[in-house]
Amino acid sequence: MLELKNIKKSYKTGEFVQHALKEVSIEFRKNEFVCILGASGSGKTTLLNIIGGLDRYDSGDLIINNMSTKKFKNIDWDRYRNNCVGFIFQNYNLIPHISVIDNVEMGMTLSGVSAGIRKKNAMDALKKVGLLEHAHKKPSQLSGGQMQRVAIARALVNDPDIILADEPTGALDTKTSVQIMDLIKEIAKDKLVIMVTHNPELAREYASRIIELADGKRVSDSNPVKRSEKDDSLIKIRKTAMSFLTALKLSFNNIKTKKGRTFLTAFASSIGIIGIGLVLSLSNGFKIEVDNFEKNSLSEAPIIVSTQSMDMSEENMEKMMGNKSDKEKYPSKKEVYVQEDIMASMVHTNIITEEYLEYLKNMDKSHLSGISYQSPTALNVVKKDSEGFNLVEGTSNWVVLPTNPNENEKGIIENNYDVLAGEIDDTKPGLILQIDSSNNVYKSSMEALGLDGESVSFEDIMNAELKVVINDEYYLEYGKGFIPNMNLESLYNSENSITLKVQAIIRGKKDKEIITNGSGIGYTNALTELIIEKNKDSKIVNAQKNAEYNILSSKPFDNDLMSGNNKETMLAYLGAYADPFLIMMYPKNFDSKNEIVSYLDKYNEGKTEEESIQYTDMASMISSLTGNIMNAITLVLIAFSSISLIVSSIMISIITYISVLERTKEIGILRALGARGKDIKRVFNAETFIIGLCSGLLGIVIAYVLTIPVNIVIEKYSGLANVAKLNIIHALILVIINVILTIIGGAIPARMASKKDPVIALRTE
Ligand code: ADP
Ligand code: MG
């Protein structure tokens, strides 16, 4: 069943070739106790390793079950070692970081025996060697003799047909040696035991056959197999395969023995995860914040149509920044290159036609919470203050209050402002005073109302009375043109003048501070309508209609739409009609904004660039700008943190490498027990997996904890609470990426480990 035929084995160290075995031929019986004697260096261990399939012969053949092993592949040798051979070593070779019973079970674990059977067999084996009560100790807690018993139990447990023992009593005292020999003798009853020893007395006492080696040759054999002996018995060979779970358990136990180092490694390599986790939680939180802001506040920001609109497309913005030019930089040519003016290409002139105004009137008003038309019509207002009668300056800065098109719903003003005094009635001409969140107003606003002082009471404001004077009284004919009437007192007291009072004092609501804080004077659309009503047929308007020059300055018109010095603008200024130069549409919410925008887009369909009316959507402009900036910042920060991720995977690689070095012996033991190279790789991959998982989880936990102080700081400086939020999906992905990176980092050392020569591995201390 087992036969060595002309086995040769030599070792090459540099130039020097050591012939450890020189044509050794031995035939073994299925059941005998063979002792191999020989001086140190005679090749005993080499012979044993070759018989056990740990080492490969150079030439000759090892016959197992009447079959040549010349064609054996690694996997065949692994199987053979695992369940045909039990090894007992001089220095026991137990795995130190797992318990006695786990050591005994290891061979079975490697061959995939179920846990229940493993435990039972291991207990049986431990009982045989008399160590039942020590099953759960660590090897280091046993004496030398006890450790050797464990090794014997381990060799027995898979019930192999061959036991190979390399000087099993070499490290033991005489008394213990005898006990061990008795034990080996007992188990040898139905097995082939091949034992190396340099103790001839022991050999003579226990062996049924003694073979002597000298200088790599067999020099004597006390009981060679005779030709007449026929032995057809076979050795049984089964499959081996270590499960990943076993590898995990093995690594986990190993890691447990060096908790401190593992923790530090995991912590160090978690720093990248912490960084990325924090960046993601911040950008995630800010995105949510911006989204909410957009939903709650920006959705009510107006869509603006004005006679001039800026095209703030990304393309134009980049042009303005001077980017996006694929032309050569710093050319040496002595010429210049002419390009389109950026401003001119960005500004679009909208000609707001009657058709367009009609189109707007037909819009579904349910999408709007307010709409205002700012017209250039002059407000000629006279005030009476402590200095007498004066014209109110700056009325062109007064804004038209948006009117609410839906009677039974709250409009943009009600939604966003508190009325502190009076009542708004946009069907009547009147003024609205807006004050800021600290009740501040500008001096000019008070002066416009004819009031002065450091503080003014609501009552005084509500009592202030101004007069809007009509064209026919304000403009006096003078030659070819008109001049303003300077007798302000009579204008103020004229019964034709429109009395103007403050209808209401409003202030932005507390929770809308960001968008409503400010101050100024506004007036109702009804005032515009009333003024136009009174002025549209006035003398000056009719005169301007018939004159091709500016009736107020007597200067000729230019044909520049921008300058304002043209007939249309003059007529609008004088109140002939209310051609608006600025229209603001306030959407009710996000959805209605989209509806309005698409309605406005529809108008431009099929129109030329000049005829089209461009609008400005403030909300989407702001959010796309902030969105882009946020994305860019996030990317940059993640890139920085990723560097530490890569550094940590290199670190894992180094640490795994060290671990491989430290565990070389264990690799040898596992290989002797039949572990495949693949299994060894698994053990180390399992280790990096555990470290990767730990560092990933640790990183996530730390990042999560760090969001607390980060949030406190952000709240302190921006007033936004709980901005940093770690998304669970992000956390999961980060942990997975970390595990993958660490496994990649550990892959090379793990591969090295799997390629280690088991014999050399076993020889290392
Ligand atoms: P023994 O066990 O009888 O003391 P070994 O089988 O260990 O002897 O060694 C036989 C010879 O082969 C010795 O001279 C030893 O130095 C040499 N040898 C064994 N293993 C190696 C190796 N891996 N590399 C080089 N020489 C080796
Ligand atoms: Mg030896």
- Decide whether any atom of ligand 1 lies within 6 Å of the 9 Cβ: no
Residue 559: other Cβ atoms inside 10 A: 8
| pLDDT at position 641 over 90 | no
Give the model's confidence band at 725: pLDDT under 50 very low, under 70 low, under 90 confident, else very high: confident
Q: Look at residue 719 and tell me whether its pLDDT is greater than 80.
A: no
Q: Cα(433)–Cα(521) distance, rounded to whole angstroms? A: 5
How far does residue 194's CA lie from ligand 2's centre (Å)? Answer: 13
Q: What does the alpha-carbon distance between residue 213 and residue 227 come to, in Å, rounded to a whole number? A: 22
DSSP letter at 222 equals S
Does 324 have pLDDT greater than 60?
A: no
Separation CA 571–CA 542 (nearest Å): 9
Q: What is the mean pLDDT of residues 748-757?
A: 90
Number of CB atoms found within 10 A of residue 256's CB: 11
As beta bridge partners, residue 418 has 507
Average pLDDT over residues 101-106: 92
Which pLDDT belongs to residue 315? 67
DSSP string of 108-134, one letter each residue: HHHTT--HHHHHHHHHHHHHHTT-GGG
Closest ligand 1 atom, residue 48 Cα: 6
How many C-beta atoms surround the C-beta of residue 573 within 10 A? 17
Please write the tens of the pLDDT for every residue from 406-436. Answer: 888 888 888 889 999 999 988 899 999 999 9
Q: In angstroms, what is the span from residue 171 Cα to ligand 1's centroid?
A: 19
Query: From the CB of 24, is ligand 1 less than 6 Å away?
Result: no
For the chain, which residues make up each domain, given as ranges? Answer: 2-240, 255-293+626-763
Going by their DSSP bridges, the two strands 85-88 and 67-68 should be labelled as: unpaired
Give residue 312's pLDDT. Answer: 65
- What DSSP character marks residue 385? E
With a 6 Å cutoff on the Cβ, whether 44 touches ligand 1 is yes
pLDDT, tens only, 504-526: 999 998 877 777 788 999 999 99
* Nearest residue (CA) to ligand 1, atom 7: 45
**DSSP 8-state class, residue 392:** P
Does the Cβ of 11 fall within 6 Å of ligand 1?
A: yes
Chain centroid to CA 379: 58
**Which residues are 220's β-sheet partners?**
212
Q: How far is the CA of 214 from the centre of ligand 1 (A)?
A: 12
Which pLDDT score is estimated for 322? 61
Q: What is the pLDDT of residues 222-261, one digit of tens each?
A: 998 887 776 666 777 766 667 778 788 878 877 887 888 8
Check pLDDT > 70 for residue 692: yes
Q: Which of 387, 413, 390, 388 is nearest to 400 (CA)?
A: 413
Question: pLDDT exceeding 70 applies to what percent of the chain?
Answer: 95
Question: How large is the average pLDDT for residues 689-706?
Answer: 92
* Residue 651 contacts residue 269 (beta carbons within 8 Å): yes
- Helix 567-574 to helix 539-546 angle, to the nearest 10 degrees? 170
pLDDT of residue 194 exceeding 90 = yes
Mean pLDDT over 583-601 rounds to 88
Residue 453, burial from CB neighbour count under 10 angstroms (0-12, 13-18, 19+): exposed
In this prediction, residues 114-118 reach a mean pLDDT of 88
CA angle 10, 66, 21 (to 5 degrees): 15
Atom of ligand 1 nearest to the CA of 46: 6
Q: Which of 576, 498, 565, 490 is nearest to 540 (CA)?
A: 576
**Residue 43 in contact with ligand 1 by CB distance below 6 A:** yes
pLDDT band at 320 (very low <50, low <70, confident <90, very high): low
Is any ligand 1 atom within 6 A of the Cβ of residue 40? yes
| Fold assignment, 2-240 | Rossmann fold (3.40.50)
Q: Name 720's Cβ contacts closer than 8 Å, sequence gap at least 6.
A: 289, 714
pLDDT digits (tens, 9 = 90+) for 472-485: 999 998 888 899 99
Work out which ligand 1 atom sits closest to the CA atom of 763.
23
- Does the pLDDT of residue 94 top 90, yes or no? yes
Q: What is the mean pLDDT of the chain?
A: 87
> What does the pLDDT average to over 308-336?
72
pTM: 0.64
Handedness of CA 560, 563, 564, 566 (dihedral sign): negative
Helix, strand and coil content of the chain, in percent to the nearest 5, comes to: 50, 20, 35
What is the mean pLDDT of the segment spanning 542-553? 88
Separation CA 18–CA 12 (nearest Å): 6
Index of the ligand 1 atom closest to the CA of residue 44? 3
